[in-house]
Structure 1
Amino acid sequence: MDFVEFVKTRQSDRAFDPARPVEKEKIDRIIRTVQLAPSACNAQPWHLIVVDDPELKNKVADATSSRILGINHFTKQAPVHILLVEEKVNLMSGIGGWVKNKDYAQIDLGIAAAHLVLAAHAEGLGSCILGWFDEDKMKELLAIPQSKRVWLDIVIGYSTQPLRDKKRKPIDEIVSFNGYVKTK
């Protein structure tokens, strides 16, 4: 499969087979891709927490869902949660970020997350990137220092969700060449 076709078949899955655990070898390969992800000045400002203990995973899943908003209740089905915790950038990335007024750590975490979900897809797994969760509860459950930020929780498992058509803006609305031109 070429890369465009591969990306077309990756989706945010919200239905998983809770009885089918993810093999440790697959998790190890997924983690390796994050280790290899590029980052500004090679800072690698991330720490991954893999949660696969069923009891703890259910508590983490509870921290992602909201009864009031009715969201993220599917996360208990996923057998694995991988949290991305921001670590400090190195000196060069920190100086560059200050000079250019850009948060390179957040950019790098996005790149790491993209590597993670594409690697999961390559392993035949579904995934969903979650930004909505009770960060304080996550810190409490996983002994994460209060000074750290938990940016994302990525759930992975064997998807039971059919492939959906992607609804995307047309290319001419999101791309221009040789200058900023907005068509709409």
Structure 2
Amino acid sequence: MIPEDFYALVEQRQSDRKFDPDRTVPDDVLQRIIEAGRLSPSACNSQPWSFVVVTDPATRNRLAEASSSRVLMMNHFTRQAPVQIIVVEEKANFTATIGGKMKGIHYANIDLGIAAAHITLAAAAEGLGSCIIGWVNDAKIRDILGIPSGRRVVMNIVLGYSTDPHRLKKRKETSEILHREKW
């Protein structure tokens, strides 16, 4: 990959909330996207994740209900997405668990965020839009998908062919966030 291509991909990727409901995502594309998540790095190579890919319309609607809020009027767009990827936390390996306890850091949260970034960048590389939903009803989603009770549903990544126009990113200036050598 040419470095300019990667930076263009980062610029292009946005949180999309409008999808073409009539356009399905081919299985080979989904496989490549999941492979990007599988190959992402993790603390002590613990790989504390499982992914549940859902394309069935009835199940997607139930997941959309478990990933939205009527009171706060948020995330109702999830119904439009032809694919929902449920990210499930698995038990980390011994080294990552002990290291996390010693440092007071739950490394799996970091690892799952890295995997989600890989998935959404892969989706963008495939011409798809995506949005990471952190507002999820863990118990409801576990029940819908038959996920064992010892696992934790962390997020729902919705994706599909976006109909959202590309937006300019509103970000802080580099001078506001970058410190060199010292604060």
Q: Which of the five TM-score ranges fits, normalised by the shorter chain?
A: over 0.9
Query: 1:144 corresponds to which letter in structure 2?
Result: I
Runs of 4+ more than 3 Å apart? none
| Offset of residue 6 of structure 1 | 1.4
Q: Distance in 1 between matches of 2:8 and 2:149?
A: 41
Which residue does 1:91 correspond to in 2? 94
Q: 1:48 aligns with which of 35, 46, 51?
A: 51
Query: 2:36 corresponds to which letter in structure 1?
Result: T
| TM-score when normalising by structure 1 | 0.95
Which residue does 2:80 correspond to in 1? 77
Percent sequence identity over matched residues?
A: 54
Q: Distance in 1 between matches of 2:97 and 2:104?
A: 10
RMSD: 1.0
| Offset of residue 132 of structure 1 | 0.8
Structure 2, gaps ≥5 residues long: none
Which residue does 2:180 correspond to in 1? 177
Count residues in correspondence.
Answer: 180
Structure 1, gaps ≥5 residues long: none
Which residue does 1:119 correspond to in 2? 122
| Offset of residue 3 of structure 1 | 1.9
Which residue does 1:35 correspond to in 2? 38
Q: Distance in 2 between matches of 1:173 and 1:144?
A: 43
| TM-score when normalising by structure 2 | 0.95
Which residue does 2:110 correspond to in 1? 107
